[in-house]
Amino acid sequence: MSDDDESPTTYSKPNTPEIDKLKSLIISSPSTGSSDKSNESFYEKLQEYYDLKQQYDQKLRDAHTQWNNSKPPMSLEKKKENYQNFMMNRKCINCNKGPGGTIFSQDGIGQTRKITAICGCEDKCNLNIEIYMGETIYIPENLDYYKQNVEELKRELTEYKLDLLFNLRDEEEVLAEFRTIKEQLTENLDQLCTMKIAFDKQNEEIELGQSSLEIFKFFEQEVTPNEEGEYVVNRKKYIEIMHKHLNNLISQFKTKTLEYKKEPTREKLKDNFEFLVNEIQEVQNSIREEKYHIIYMDTTENSAKKGFKKQKIMDTYTFNPSKYSLDNLMVTMNTKITEFER
């Protein structure tokens, strides 16, 4: 394969579960002032990075396909030789020059975790990408941590106030310690607020669509838009109102059933069935999805046997609904793009 030969282009826009996963975990932190718009920009650049990497990797996959499908079949030694030549003469995905290719890398852990891409050619092009992927944390654990810190700092503040009141310690010393603790308390309260907002956004808040908004209006529940123009309600309130709506639908279905019994026709039967599937079942599914993020079965194997033929007793199946999914209990913070040139 010569330097000027291009491998077959079988590239198509990749499915990138990494980005979908990050989108589900990332939040806008009040402390950093980041917005949904900046998050969208981050996703776009992240997608662009993975598009480049996918195209770059696809060229090698296409070359392997050529070697494996060659007629007559290519020997293993020849494949190894072609592979070495391909890697030595690899071109940069950005400038299409070589040899040197493009250097994609991942480094660091936690807040220092980043992905990079640079031109590997001697005469380098402008390609320079550095994206920090942020740190994923477990929200309940952090909520408990900051709650404990806040309570402890409040207790210390109270002790210093009492020391100052009863002249048990030097006033300047107490005031200095008081200011330090107050600053720490403010920082921990900010972090606690950020974690609580993240938790509520992913678990306790539901954005209403137009149909859901109409249902709330029917039950005289006023919902005002937030700063982003979204109609958001508490999860508990949503389930409560949707249960009322479901009860109304069931009453309507009973009325329709009685009408059918009085005058059984195919049209009425079809209408009742469609009402059951398209109205009642849809609302039931909506309530279930919001009430439990995950529903799964646990199986307990039963090795006991019974009867003359020693037949195996049926296994025990336990229905386990979970209020929160693990994904919704995690959040990714401090994502940023430090370099993005092409």
243 located within any domain: yes
d(CA 29, CA 335): 10
State the DSSP string of 178-226: HHHHHHHHHHHHHHHHHHHHHHIIIIIEEE--HHHHHHHHHTT------
Same domain, yes or no: 129 and 196 = no
Same domain, yes or no: 247 and 286 = yes
Residue whose C-alpha is closest to residue 106's, from 53, 61, 47: 53
Burial class (CB in 10 A: 0-12, 13-18, 19+), 101: buried
Same domain, yes or no: 285 and 219 = yes
Same domain, yes or no: 181 and 231 = no
Same domain, yes or no: 88 and 105 = yes
| Structure token digits, residue 339 | 């370099």
Same domain, yes or no: 31 and 122 = yes
22 located within any domain: yes
The pLDDT tens digits along the chain (342 residues) read 444 444 333 444 445 656 666 666 665 444 444 455 566 788 889 999 999 999 999 999 999 999 999 888 889 999 999 999 999 999 999 999 879 999 999 998 878 889 999 999 999 999 999 999 988 889 999 999 999 999 999 999 998 888 888 888 888 888 888 889 999 999 999 999 989 988 998 899 999 999 999 999 999 999 999 888 999 999 999 999 999 999 999 999 999 999 999 999 999 999 999 999 999 999 999 999 999 988 888 888 887 777 666 777 788 888 888 889 888 898 888 888 998 998
Q: Which of 154, 188, 203 is the last residue of a domain?
A: 203
Burial class (CB in 10 A: 0-12, 13-18, 19+), 25: buried
Domains in the chain, number: 3
Residue whose C-alpha is closest to residue 291's, from 236, 254, 329, 241: 236
Task: Note whether 293 and 321 are within 8 A (CB).
Answer: no
| Structure token digits, residue 341 | 């040139």
Q: Which of 162, 178, 203 is the last residue of a domain?
A: 203
Same domain, yes or no: 165 and 244 = no
155-161-166 Cα angle (round to 5): 130
d(CA 220, CA 222): 6
235 located within any domain: yes
The pLDDT tens digits for 232-243 are 999 999 999 999
Residue whose entry in the numeric block shows the structure tokens 């579960």: 17
Same domain, yes or no: 64 and 118 = yes
176 located within any domain: yes
pLDDT reported for residue 117: 95
Q: Which of 159, 183, 203 is the last residue of a domain?
A: 203
pLDDT reported for residue 24: 61
Q: How many CB atoms lie within 10 A of CB 127?
A: 21
Same domain, yes or no: 89 and 149 = no
Residue whose C-alpha is closest to residue 256's, from 273, 278, 244, 277: 273
Q: Cα separations (Å) of 185 from 68, 159, 189, 265?
A: 65, 14, 6, 71
Same domain, yes or no: 121 and 22 = yes
d(CA 311, CA 304): 9
Same domain, yes or no: 26 and 119 = yes
33 located within any domain: yes
- pTM of the shown model: 0.64
Task: Note whether 223 and 216 are within 8 A (CB).
Answer: yes
Amino acid identity, position 287? I
Residue whose entry in the numeric block shows the structure tokens 């209020």: 323
Q: Which helix (H) or strand (E) holds 97?
A: none
Residue whose C-alpha is closest to residue 25's, from 145, 203, 193: 203
Q: Cα separations (Å) of 311 from 241, 299, 303, 307, 316?
A: 49, 19, 10, 6, 15
252 located within any domain: yes
143 located within any domain: yes
Helix (H, G, I), strand (E, B) or coil at 104: strand
Same domain, yes or no: 253 and 276 = yes
Contacts of 168 (CB under 8 A, 6+ apart): 162
d(CA 20, CA 17): 5
Domain extent, residue 182, equals 138-203
276: which DSSP letter? Answer: I
10 located within any domain: no
